[in-house]
Amino acid sequence: MILFRPPCILWIALHSPRGTTMRFGLFIALGLMAVVPFAVPGRDQPAPFVPKLHPRGYVALKAVMPPNIDGKLDDDAWRAAPWSDDFVDIEGDLKPKPRYRTRMKMLWDDRALYIAAELEDPDVWATITEHDAVMFQDPDFEVFLDPDGDNHLYGELEINPKNSTWDLLLTKPYRDGGHAINAWEITGLKTAVAIDGTLNNPKDKDRGWTVEIAWPWASLKELSQRTTPPKDGDQWRANFSHVYWDTEVKDGKTVKIKDKPEHNWVWSPQGVVEMHRPERWGYLQFSTQTAGPVKFVPDADADVKDWLHDFYYAQGAYRKKHSKYAGTVADLGGAFAVKTPWGEPTIETTKRGFTATTGEPKRRWSIAQDSQLLRE
């Protein structure tokens, strides 16, 4: 979904690139306040840097045999794969727990990445049959993958209970002027859906629907220069979303309740109603083991990356106010009057952009005005 609704008091409704409502507000300022405390006047030393909560992680085991892509999750292959944590609201703890359970699991082999999902729903319905239609107007399951974690050139796949799909390539996030390439097709993609109940029949009670996806490495290579199939321990950025609509029955048909927004239930919370913040996606870790458990290893550079993204958002706000980018962290003030473990960042600015670099001596990272994150 391409929605943005920050947890703040003042909202300004704007129109998004995909025809849905985006709400912009004070999230940047409030988010920075929540993540990094302001320096307290009178202190001799700046306040210490406070890390963010690490996004969720999942370890995908290597499949002994590929699952049969029929929408049913009863294959022997899936028994080895652990279920993810239950999905939560896209804003995380700011919102109530989702009404119905959603969860996913993953496997991989030398041919493809396999994804399965289980979506509880007492009344499974769908209307869209066209490929590459705006799928989230129906209830749908969505996959987001950024293999190299640089915020640029990532893939999205959406699927509804009719097994209709929308695959699109994002050059970069919409916030940075990115565009969705709808003509992009996932070569060799296989998907299937199974309904535990009856589709489009509100007279009975369903249990939900399940999804199976086989996403070939041949297509995933288009998103990154990283090795595919991956190596043991490799980590990608990924997230998953279940779009759910409040409905009612009219003339014997299930229809959306007018003027009620959709629910966005996700694997790893974004903090705001916007899926296109790849820096907040979870981590997909690959293991060559065929049976678990295998321990997930948190990203050792997560704090550096979080700081750089906060700097990126602050630079955007500074430029909006001053018509130029800040040349130093002191110019930004406020939440950046802190002492980080990595010392002063290196900042380069031009009339049209900036680059900020920081991190451990042998693990330095940089971010630019278009949010591209790179290892130096």
Does residue 42 surpass a pLDDT of 50? no
Q: Do 153 and 105 sit in the same domain of this protein?
A: yes
In a domain, residue 339? The reply is yes
Region of residue 179 (phi > 0: left; psi between -120 and 50: alpha; otherwise: beta) = beta
Q: Render pLDDT for 282-301 as a digit per residue (tens, 0 to 9).
A: 999 999 999 999 999 999 99
Domain boundary among 251, 286, 321: 286
Q: Do 126 and 265 sit in the same domain of this protein?
A: yes
d(CA 90, CA 242): 10
- Interval 175-200 mean pLDDT: 97
Which residue, chain included where needed, has tokens 């288009």?
222
Does residue 19 surpass a pLDDT of 70? no
Q: Do 112 and 251 sit in the same domain of this protein?
A: yes
Q: pTM value?
A: 0.87
d(CA 284, CA 201): 36
What band does 47 get if pLDDT is binned at 50, 70 and 90? low
Does residue 201 surpass a pLDDT of 80? yes
Share of the chain above pLDDT 90, in %: 81
Does residue 37 surpass a pLDDT of 50? no
Identify which has the larger pLDDT, 36 or 324.
Answer: 324
Question: What is the pLDDT, as a whole number, of residue 13?
Answer: 34
In a domain, residue 337? The reply is yes
Q: Report in angstroms the alpha-carbon separations of 72 from 75, 115, 203, 209, 239.
A: 8, 12, 24, 9, 22
In a domain, residue 203? The reply is yes
How are beta strands 57-62 and 21-25 bridged, if at all? unpaired
Q: Render pLDDT for 221-246 as a digit per residue (tens, 0 to 9).
A: 999 889 999 999 999 999 999 999 99
d(CA 346, CA 343): 10
The residue type of 150 is D
Q: Do 147 and 229 sit in the same domain of this protein?
A: yes
* Closest by CA position to 290, among listed 107, 52, 127: 107
Looking at every residue in the chain, the average pLDDT score rounds to 89
For 168-233, the DSSP string reads EEESS-GGGT--EETT---TT-EEEEEEES-TT-TTS---EEEEEEEEEHHHHGGG-SS-SSPPTT
Does residue 110 surpass a pLDDT of 50? yes
Domain boundary among 286, 316, 331: 286
Q: Do 78 and 121 sit in the same domain of this protein?
A: yes
Q: Do 318 and 278 sit in the same domain of this protein?
A: no
DSSP-derived letter for residue 251 is T
DSSP-derived letter for residue 135 is G
Question: What is the pLDDT, as a whole number, of residue 11?
Answer: 32
Domain boundary among 286, 313, 338: 286
* Closest by CA position to 59, among listed 86, 75, 82, 76: 82
Q: Do 200 and 264 sit in the same domain of this protein?
A: yes
Kindly report the CATH number assigned to the domain that includes residue 125.
2.60.40.1190
Q: Do 340 and 277 sit in the same domain of this protein?
A: no
Question: What is the pLDDT, as a whole number, of residue 29?
Answer: 38
Q: HSE of 332 in the Cβ direction (CA atoms, 13 Å)?
A: 24
Does residue 186 surpass a pLDDT of 80? yes
What band does 48 get if pLDDT is binned at 50, 70 and 90? low
| Range(s) of the domain holding residue 184 | 57-286
Q: Among the listed ranges 41-50, 186-195, 332-341, 345-354, which one has the minimum average pLDDT value?
A: 41-50
